[in-house]
Homo-oligomer: A and B are copies of this chain.
Amino acid sequence: MAEIRIGEYLFRRLKQMGIETAFGVPGDYELALLNYVEPAGLNWIGTPNELVGAYAADGYARLKGAAALVTTFGPGELSALCGLGGSFCEMVPVLHIVGYPSFAAQASGQILHHTLGDKSYDHYVRMSSELSCATAVLKDPSNATAEIDRVLNAMMYHSQPGYIGITEDVVKTLVPASSLDATMIHMALSSGTEDDRALAAIMAALEVSKNPIVIVDGGAGRSSWASHAIELVKALKSLHFNTVMGKGIVGEDDPLFAGCYAGVGSLPATSKAVEQSDCILWLGYMPSDFNTGMFTEDVKSSLVIDFQRFHITVGQKQFQARMNTRLSSFVKPGDMIVAETGTSQIGALATKTPQGVYYWTQAVWGSIGYAIGAAVGAAIAGKELGQYRRMIVFTGEGSLQLTVQAMSILNRHGVVPYVYTVERYFEGWDAAYNDVPEWDYSGLFRSFAPNLTTNTVKARSAAELDKLLSEESFQNATIPQCIDMTLDKYDAPAGLRAIFDFKKKMAGA
């Protein structure tokens, strides 16, 4: 009977799910495991640190449907947690695989490095359980493959991270190769129990509506939902909108697209059109602060049909019904754009992304430093999908402080970052704690990849930037481009100013 090692089983399962790359940072407890990545047919992309690795996995999963991150017990896995928190709250399925010390070592009563010195091996999985829909630490080889499948199924079902800890000895244990033939039954969401009744209620609401609209939001998953959102918009032929979190799912070059809705942060015509509709089909409504112009949306919930991952609400009535989802990619040939949280994402409200451009931002988690890390994973996913053209990263100098070393991986795939300034628009306008050290971005861009030719251009005005963007040599560049833009200390997009002015007025009233 053909047999394979459990380590290889794990990576072959990922391959079956369409994952072709594992991200991570090597560490000694995980080295045994890493020896099975390539035999299972996956590529290994080492990242400069675990946080960049977690962001890269998130970016990859948003395009390919799921991703894998491999770290080592203790310091390695803890360094990735901020990234996994983002994947959890933004519904991105990332499998966190952690290499554990062997049983023999754990049972010896000796104090191993990367422990807390207390001979306990459960601290970290408890911590990760707060940010995972399912966890397993594989201790018993006889149920290891079942446990792997359980976590993977839960991850795809909930569209959230899973955690698998695997000891050095379990990695090498043999299991029947035929285990790989078992179907992962829960992989696709099955239909809800009340689909028909929900459909009847939706049709009834649409029948009496004079101006129904669709808002494509991001609160119910992303890659597994996107194709349904596109189909729905096409079928209804009504005006459609998106949100900060939902931007980039449906093309904005469609004549029926009418803007990005974020309460008072929207363009005036957009908010007027949304707020006058008498029936809003809202796909994956996510009422978080950044996603709603700081809760300034003005829509009656009785007029909303809210499609969530596990239920649909029509007016005030909730049905256990679903938009059926499947693991399919919706990326079209063309650009990918990732916008950092804060100014960059608000500024993007007023830009139009044509169909086939893949745009996204972290609307809820809002972790600065995310964009350039996520771009690494998305660029690799795009290449695997055969649809990669350009990767455009909007970020800020404050954000680059956290994960600048991601440049060293990203530069191999081409990138056009913009450098903004943002935090001053909040409290502490002139406080010293909001100053960031001055860096030489051109020097960093070059020094992180000294074997590549790169190009850095400074832009000191909107006119300089416009000129640059219109140049054909820039548009079709074949080497990484960095635009180092200096804006006024207090520069901010109109949408951000509108939200803060509104909040200030409310606070004063």
Please report A residues at the B interface, Cβ cutoff 8 Å. Answer: 25-26, 28, 31-32, 34-35, 37, 44, 46, 48-51, 74-76, 78-79, 81-82, 85-86, 88-90, 110-118, 123-124, 126-127, 130-131, 219, 286-290, 295, 341, 363-369, 401-405, 408-409, 423, 426-428, 431-444, 446-451
**A444 proximity list for chain B (CB < 8 A):** 443-444, 447-448
- 11 inter-chain pairs at a CB distance below 8 angstroms, sorted by A residue, are A26-B433, A31-B431, A35-B427, A46-B435, A48-B404, A76-B82, A79-B81, A79-B82, A113-B363, A438-B450, A439-B450
Asked if residues B423 and A111 are in contact (CB atoms below 8 Å), the reply is: no
Contacts of A366 in B (CB 8 A): 75, 113-114
This chain: copies in complex = 2
Q: Which of B295, B368, B408 contacts A437 (CB 8 A)?
A: B408
With a CB–CB cut-off of 8 A, which chain B residues contact A131?
116, 123
A75 in contact with B427 given A288-B112, A443-B450, A447-B440 (CB within 8 Å): no
CB of A44 to closest CB in B, whole Å: 5
A397 to chain B, nearest CB (A): 11
CA distance A449 to B127 in the complex (A): 37
Alpha-carbon separation in the docked complex, A37 to B427 (Å): 15
Determine if A26 and B434 form an interchain contact, defined as CB atoms under 8 angstroms apart: yes
Whether B289 and A110, one on each chain, are in contact in the complex, defined by CB atoms closer than 8 angstroms, is: yes
Q: A79-B51, A447-B447 are in contact. Are A46 and B436 (CB under 8 A)?
A: yes
Residues of B contacting A37 with CB < 8 Å? 433
Contact between A113 and B401 (Cβ–Cβ < 8 Å)?
A: no
Residues of chain B with a CB closer than 8 A to A88's CB: 116
Task: State how many angstroms separate the Cβ of A351 from the closest Cβ of chain B.
Answer: 21
User: In the complex, what's the smallest C-beta–C-beta distance from A43 to chain B, in angstroms?
Assistant: 10
Residues of B within 8 A of A363 (CB): 113
**In the bound complex, how far is the Cα of B82 from the Cα of A76, in angstroms?**
8
Given contacts A51-B51, A289-B113, A369-B49, contact A85 B74 (CB under 8 A): yes
Pairwise interchain contact B287-A111, C-beta atoms closer than 8 A: yes
Taking a contact as CB atoms under 8 Å apart, the answer to whether A439 and B113 are in contact is: no
CA A447 – CA B443 in complex, angstroms?
Answer: 5
Q: How far is the CA of A75 from the CA of B50 in the complex (A)?
A: 14
A309 nearest CB across to chain B (Å) = 12
A34 to chain B minimum Cβ distance, whole angstroms, is 5
Q: Are B404 and A110 in contact (CB under 8 A)?
A: no
* CB of A461, distance to nearest CB on chain B (Å): 22
Task: Find out whether the CB atom of A35 lies under 8 angstroms from the CB atom of B428.
Answer: yes
**The 3 A-B residue pairs with the shortest CB-CB distance in the complex, in nearest-first order:** A443-B447, A75-B367, A111-B288
Q: Quick check: B117 and A288 within 8 Å, CB to CB?
A: yes
- Bound-state CA distance A183–B454 (Å) is 60
Cα–Cα distance between A441 and B447 once the two chains are bound (Å): 7
Closest chain B CB from A349 CB (angstroms): 16
Best-buried of A78, A118, A426, A434 by chain B (most CB within 10 Å) = A78
Q: Is A426 touching B28 in the complex (CB atoms < 8 A)?
A: yes
Q: Which of B50, B364, B403 contacts A117 (CB 8 A)?
A: B364
Partner of A81, one of B35, B78, B126, B287: B78
Give the CA-CA distance A287 to B111 in the complex, in Å. 6
For A364, what are the chain B residues with a Cβ–Cβ distance below 8 Å? 111, 113, 115, 117
Select which of B48, B79, B85, B437 is within 8 A of A75 by beta carbon.
B85
Q: Complex formed: what's the CA distance from A118 to B286 in Å?
A: 11
Q: A78-B82, A79-B367 are known; give 13 further A-B pairs, CB within 8 A.
A: A34-B428, A44-B433, A46-B436, A48-B402, A76-B82, A89-B116, A89-B117, A111-B288, A113-B366, A117-B364, A124-B130, A409-B437, A440-B448
Q: A367 to chain B: which residues have CB within 8 Å? A: 74-75, 79, 114
Selected from B115, B290, B435, B441, the residue in CB contact (under 8 A) with A89 is B115
Cα A44 to Cα B423 with chains together (Å) = 17
Q: Which residues of B contact A439 (CB under 8 A)?
A: 408, 447-448, 450
Once the chains bind, are B130 and A126 in contact (CB under 8 Å)? yes
Q: Within the complex, what minimum Cβ distance (angstroms) separates A17 from chain B? A: 21
With A32-B427, A130-B126 already in contact, the answer to whether A114 and B365 are too (CB < 8 A) is yes
* Least CB distance, A159 to chain B, in whole angstroms: 12
* Residue picked from A35, A113, A116, A435, most chain B C-beta under 10 Å: A113
A289 & B111 in contact (Cβ 8 Å cutoff) = yes
A431 touches B75 (CB 8 A): no
Cα of A341 to Cα of B368 in the assembled complex, Å: 28
A113 to B442 Cα, complex, angstroms: 32
Most chain B C-beta atoms within 10 Å of own C-beta, residue among A115, A295, A402: A402
Q: Tell me the bound Cα distance from A74 to B83 in angstroms.
A: 10
| Nearest Cβ on chain B to A215's Cβ, whole angstroms | 16
Min CB distance, A79 to chain B, in Å?
4
Whether the pair A44, B432 counts as a contact (CB closer than 8 A) is yes
Q: Which residues of B contact A51 (CB under 8 A)?
A: 49, 51, 79
